[in-house]
A and B are shown apart, each in its own frame.
Chain A
């Protein structure tokens, strides 16, 4: 027996610039929320036909296929340097990098620091869940003390594994950096706040204010030793205690 649809569309909640269909990220992963927020911010500012997104290597890499923005795939850690080449060659484009904490803070620490110090007019987005998610949840340079990972089973211990690098705070210290903020996808309200940060960063980039940076704390349901339903609270209580949310630097002016 066939059924006729009886409902009617009262609003379309399809995120802008997202290609519908399956994606490769785990249920409960925070990264798609962050990338949808980025795509929405680009769309809201009318920058869709000027934007080139440079992706690093991590779980989010596969999501490049779900976003209807031009994407240039970079190697692990190199996205800010690749983005520099794009922006210098085509100064009218809006250039955004998407990297995880393993990609940016481990493999590519030099790239992001130098790019920030040069004041490149690009926006770097860090998806920080404190683990190498794609390999199954291993320690990164951003893993907070006490956080359990596959190679710090008893929790990250400063004496054995060193201390986490608060990359946003480091970058904020550099001249040439116009904007640094840290948001999360811990709740709907946080997602909305993060999108505002991304908008602000993109506005400042478009205005040529300098290097802009948005870190987004995200959940990793498979890499963390935390129940998926508990992950947002763990993010707030454990990760955000070391990487506090909020705007770290804003040079002001612009739009």
Chain B
């Protein structure tokens, strides 16, 4: 199954019943599959007239407690950032797919391109089976933390074909949705109000206290930062002189290069962050603590390398070995994603004499 189709199947298996999107390569196929799959299960897929409308429609559906998602590529997500920031303040769960071009959207996803203090959980699969798992986990985490979750796909993930079976995953206790709107609390004297501004009813003791609302959002963001378990794939870091860090599809090439070098007898370890936020800092710090150096490969000018440096906290040098590499279209298969080429870059670092 092609990645885009598997991701769409996984979202539907997770109970997603509302999707809104605006076509853009390589997100388009996810939209196509959602438009095909959702009506068959009683769901709704909206062909939104812009990314602004797509995220707004998803906001409305999500506010009713319906599992909802939207998506685009990084460019489209740029347009959605106001809503994505405010959804955190409104505490509305939403899954957002970024079928990214390259890896230049790491900062956008983990820092947010939007305003104010907010955070999004970010999940970055490296292959289709993991994408099927994480697409479903995304809905569970969104519900559990009442916060947007970014599913970080990429061009390769959208188009690669892998054998995979999509089955619904049970993540345990159902989540409380008593906050969701359905109209029925009207006239009760305490009708529900769901707002990023935190404006409450006049009858409430702390109505229209936006400052206190923002402080409460700070509490929920901190709780999320501490409560979400960071995930990472860790290979051969015990006794490794050099540890290489990479995420997403490019990490598969890096992993193959690392395996090649280990076969040559070089002590090279590998860490692949699966949650980009919260970042698996402990796993990176542990790997860095005994290594002579850490190398970071990304298909960009160096973004995640900042988080690796924060995690390593000066315990060893952190080298950036990635870079921008695209085909003529600006988002297709990157020439740098070549195992020999990557192995060469990593080998050169191992050949440096100890400081």
Q: Write the residues of chain A forming the contact surface with B, with a CB cutoff of 8 angstroms.
A: 17, 19-24, 42-43, 48-52, 54, 61-62, 64-75, 78, 81-90, 93-94, 110-111, 114
Contacts and interface: CB of A to CB of B under 8 A. Distances in A.
A86 B202 contact: no
B60 A110 contact: no
Contacts of B62: 85
Given A64-B193, A70-B191, A85-B18, A114 B49 contact: yes
Given A78-B83, A85-B20, A88-B44, A72 B53 contact: no
7 contacts: A43-B187, A52-B64, A71-B194, A78-B59, A78-B83, A81-B57, A110-B53
A24 B197 CA distance: 15
A208 to B, nearest CB: 16
Contact of A61 (B64, B82, B188, B199): B199
Contact of A73 (B82, B90, B208): B90
Contacts of B56: 74-75, 78, 81-82, 84-85, 111
A83 B68 CA distance: 14
B192 A70 contact: yes
B183 A84 contact: no
B186 A21 contact: no
A68 B207 contact: no
B13 to A, nearest CB: 19
Given A49-B185, A68-B191, A75-B83, 11 more contacts: A51-B183, A52-B181, A52-B183, A62-B199, A69-B186, A73-B196, A73-B197, A78-B52, A78-B56, A85-B68, A111-B53
B324 interface: no
Q: Which secondary structure dominates chain B's binding surface?
A: loop
Interface string B17-52: 110100000000000000000000000101011101
Contact of A19 (B59, B186, B201): B201
Contacts of B83: 75, 78
Contacts of A75: 56, 82-83, 86, 196
A207 to B, nearest CB: 17
Given A86-B181, A88-B61, A22 B186 contact: no
B353 interface: no
Interface string B183-219: 1111111111111110111111001100000000000
B191 A71 contact: yes
The 3 closest A-B pairs by CB, nearest first: A85-B60, A73-B195, A81-B56
A70 B190 CA distance: 9
Contacts of B187: 17, 43, 48-49, 68-69
B251 interface: no
A206 B187 CA distance: 18
A224 to B, nearest CB: 25
B60 A22 contact: no
B202 A19 contact: yes
